[in-house]
Amino acid sequence: MITASPGARLTRPETSTASDWRQLWRDAVTDAGELLALLGLESLAERLPPADAGFALRVPRGFVARMRPGDSRDPLLLQVLPQLAELDDIPGFVTDAVGDMASRAAQGVLHKYHGRALLIASGSCAINCRYCFRRHFPYGEEMAAAGQWRQALEHLRQDSSISELILSGGDPLSLATSKLEELSRGLAELPHVTRLRIHTRLPVVLPERIDAAFLSWLDALPLQKVVVLHANHANEIDASVVAACSRLRDAGATVLNQSVLLRGINDDAGTLAELSERLFTAGVLPYYLHQLDRVQGTAHFEVEDARAQALMDTLRTRLPGYLVPRLVREVGGDLSKRPL
Ligand code: SF4
């Protein structure tokens, strides 16, 4: 276990070195031409949409290093490379596909399900996934951390049925650890909140974020802790990710994973089985496999329901039940995820 005195943890100044996660964050690849050049795929440049189709390219260099050079169908590359298809206007694909705004309870607070509230903790991500369900979310107005968590904490205070707080975004671990400490000081005054869940892709795409300061904070939290990762393909999980997951577990977190079913990336049973096996090697259990949220600009990733269900039937014949994620769709207004 990680040890740290609470007093020291709360007052420790955050220092930055040239090699820490913030520097790696800043060094991310943000130019599609550079990304293609790094992979020897310059010839694809003529197929890029103008202005990244209105959603900036961003990918940490450590994630680029896990892509296969010269492979234009690399499953990691396809998750981040802007495509002309994003400009297609497809009926049924909208800006708020999961009814986020209808569930807004306070600034940066979404309240959809019984007993749980979700904070849009941050609008930033280390990586921009082209299929992102919140690629059109108005982060400028809706961020819980922006007002020192005041509105969010007030909402939680007034509803004692909320026992679990979910930090989402964007990526909540994009926040400085000092900002997370600020939140946990507020949570300490809310005895009905007993569990903290963190939805984050950072341990996968920038595992350096799981640093000593963050782990000290996590370890000392007087709450049950769940970290839900987001990985879609086994190639995303290298030794650095396995080590980050191990550190999270050592700090007392239950670590789960959610994936999105993506055409051309992970829509075959062998790929999904390999992902589950690799996750388990990292001490992570598969939790959800999401059907794509029908967000404008993402239709080319969609897999038909019948095909998705057939994939799951095959997956069940290949894996023990605890390695089979639940195939679900989120439908705005529903009181839970909808199993398929
Ligand atoms: S990490 Fe999550 S919130 Fe961020 S771009 Fe990817 S899918 Fe969207």
Residue 94 contacts by C-beta under 8 Å, 6 or more apart in sequence?
Answer: 294, 295, 296
* Structure tokens belonging to residue 2: 């990680």
Q: Is 129 in the pocket of ligand 1 (CB under 6 A)?
A: yes
Q: Is 200 in the pocket of ligand 1 (CB under 6 A)?
A: no
Query: What is the rounded distance in angstroms from the CA atom of residue 282 to the CA atom of residue 246?
Result: 7
Query: What is the rounded distance in angstroms from the CA atom of residue 138 to the CA atom of residue 125?
Result: 14
- Burial pattern 146-176, b for ≥16 Cβ within 10 A else e, equals beebebbbebbeeeeebbbbbbbbbbbbbbe
Q: Is 112 in the pocket of ligand 1 (CB under 6 A)?
A: no
Q: For residues 176 and 14, is the Cβ–Cβ distance under 8 A?
A: yes
**Predicted TM-score (pTM) of this structure:** 0.92
Domains and CATH numbers, the chain: 18-87 (no CATH), 101-339 (3.20.20.70)
Phi then psi for 250, rounded to 5 degrees? Answer: -60, -25
Q: For residues 287 and 85, is the Cβ–Cβ distance under 8 A?
A: no
Mean pLDDT, the chain, whole residue set: 92
pLDDT tens digits along 268-307: 999 999 999 999 999 999 999 999 999 999 999 999 999 9
Query: What is the rounded distance in angstroms from the CA atom of residue 31 to the CA atom of residue 167?
Result: 29
**Residue 4: per-residue pLDDT:** 35
pLDDT tens digits along 246-275: 999 999 999 999 999 999 999 999 999 999
pLDDT tens digits along 71-97: 999 999 999 999 999 999 999 999 998
**Residue 185: per-residue pLDDT:** 93
| For ligand 1, atom 3: residue with the closest CA | 170
Tell me the best of 230, 232, 233, 296 to mutate to test the pocket of ligand 1, counting ligand atoms within 8 Å of each CB and taking the most: 230
Q: For residues 281 and 253, is the Cβ–Cβ distance under 8 A?
A: no
Residue 86, SS3? helix
| For ligand 1, atom 7: residue with the closest CA | 132
